[in-house]
Copies of this chain bind each other. A is one copy, B any other.
Amino acid sequence: MTTRREQAQHLDQQDPLAHHRDAFILPADTIYLDGNSLGPLTHAARAAVCQTMDDEWGQQLIGAWNTADWITLPQRVGALIAPLIGAGEADVICADSTSINLFKVLAAALDLRPGRARLVSERGNFPTDLYIAERAVARAGHGQAVHWVDSVEAIDGLIDDDLAVLMLTHVDYRSGAMHDMQAMTAKAHAAGALVVWDLAHSAGAVPVDLAAAEADFAVGCGYKYLNGGPGAPAFLYVSPQLQAQARQPLAGWFGHVAPFAFATGYEPAAGIKSFLVGTPPVLGMRALQASLSLWGDVDMTDIRRKSVALCQLFIQTVEAAGCDDLVLASPREAGRRASQVSFRHPDAYAVMQALIAQGVIGDMRSPDILRFGFTPLYTRYVDVFDAATRLIAIVRDRVFDDPVYHQRAAVT
């Protein structure tokens, strides 16, 4: 009779994605379930950054803007992200941070619906989205207001002629709950509104099809499931139907039609390029570009199939132990869940610290969420089984009561 751990190992032997794990540099004796917060280093990113320093910056100096084609990196990296989010290659650009990109697309969207009174979104968004939206609406100067809702259901009642922009985060950062992008976009469009999607926890995690959903704008993050490194440049999508009209306020020289003509008047570049601002961060972009190259032969349906299986294995293993203090905080239905599983626990912070001490890295979100990201490119079934087993033991044996696990760090 095989043990449950042996069954997990058997799944790894059958896994068509298993070989991708070799592309990642992972510390020994660590099960990393926090790739939804910071994806790990890849061999390709490491090599690309070293090459950029040694051969390009170091030897070609300023000439590398041409010889190494640094100048088109934002477009080229955007084109690598495009197939992961169902976008045309010319409709995605890599630039700045997610927060800044959100400001740009919100400003553009609000300007396209100046006569409508409201931006609607969920209070449960990642907070930077809330902060940025408040300021983007205030700065737009159209007298519009933000309306936060506390449930998805409440959105429906606000989809009317007053709706300018519906801003939604595709995947909730705490629970991993996922919106139906196509249905929500269609509803807002039927009322004449524009839709902005935040894909921070979607790109590389779940299949996304912006074109099929007819999304208007989207932003997302380079350092989570795309493995671009800490603070990697983010990305931004504008529907091809809107690119000729959409204008963003951070009108820097890289968004100019001819940056090196040094013209005194701003004339935006055609297409998505007008959403660039300043000089691209080459080291970070090279790392992201190299990590994105791993996706070339990956089928997102394989990713999704394994992601669902990893999440199910984790939920089942944890719940089989019958710890009343661990309550599933993610949707139980796989179709409504992205590539993440969260459990509530009253001592979530200390439980996570105890788990990290045992080599399983997830994270916690206040007040009581234990959060685990499942990244099919490098996470094994046996890792998931071992992580669940250690979590259960920590909770059952109250290992987390040790005061050492209650000391708070700056970033939690």
Contacts and interface: CB of A to CB of B under 8 A. Distances in A.
Contacts of A233: 281
Contacts of A404: none
A335 interface: no
Contacts of A287: 283
A127 B411 contact: no
Contacts of A232: 281
Nearest to A38: B62
A249 interface: yes
A69 to B, nearest CB: 8
A98 interface: yes
Contact of A278 (B63, B98, B253, B260): B98
Interface string A50-61: 100110111111
Contacts of A278: 96-100, 128, 231, 234
A229 interface: yes
A14 interface: no
Contacts of A226: none
A11 interface: no
Interface stretch (A134-142, A162-170, A316-324, A390-398): A134-142
A239 to B, nearest CB: 22
Given A61-B34, A66-B410, A127 B262 contact: yes
A63 B321 CA distance: 29
Interface string A62-76: 111110001110000
A172 interface: no
Contacts of A192: none
Contacts of A113: none
Interface in A15-69: 25, 27, 30, 32, 34, 37-38, 40-41, 45-46, 49-50, 53-54, 56-66
Interface string A235-255: 000000000000001111110
Interface in A132-172: 132, 134-136, 138-141, 148
Nearest to A148: B264
A230 B266 contact: no
Contacts of A85: none
Contacts of A303: none
A7 interface: no
Contacts of A131: 251-253, 256, 266
Interface stretch (A181-189, A359-367, A379-387): A359-367
A254 B141 CA distance: 25
A282 interface: yes
A238 to B, nearest CB: 18
A265 B260 CA distance: 41
A212 interface: no
A96 B25 CA distance: 28
Nearest to A60: B27
Contacts of A331: none
A223 interface: yes
Interface string A343-359: 00000000000001000
Given A127-B253, A410-B71, A279 B66 contact: no
Contacts of A41: 53, 57-58
A78 to B, nearest CB: 15
Interface in A366-412: 366, 409-412
A84 interface: no
A231 B65 CA distance: 11
A285 interface: yes
6 contacts: A41-B58, A46-B53, A50-B50, A65-B410, A96-B96, A139-B141
Across the A-B interface, give the 5 residue pairs with the lowest CB-CB distance, nearest first: A97-B278, A99-B252, A128-B253, A230-B282, A99-B278
Given A32-B61, A65-B230, A127-B266, 7 more contacts: A61-B361, A96-B278, A98-B279, A131-B253, A230-B279, A230-B283, A231-B284
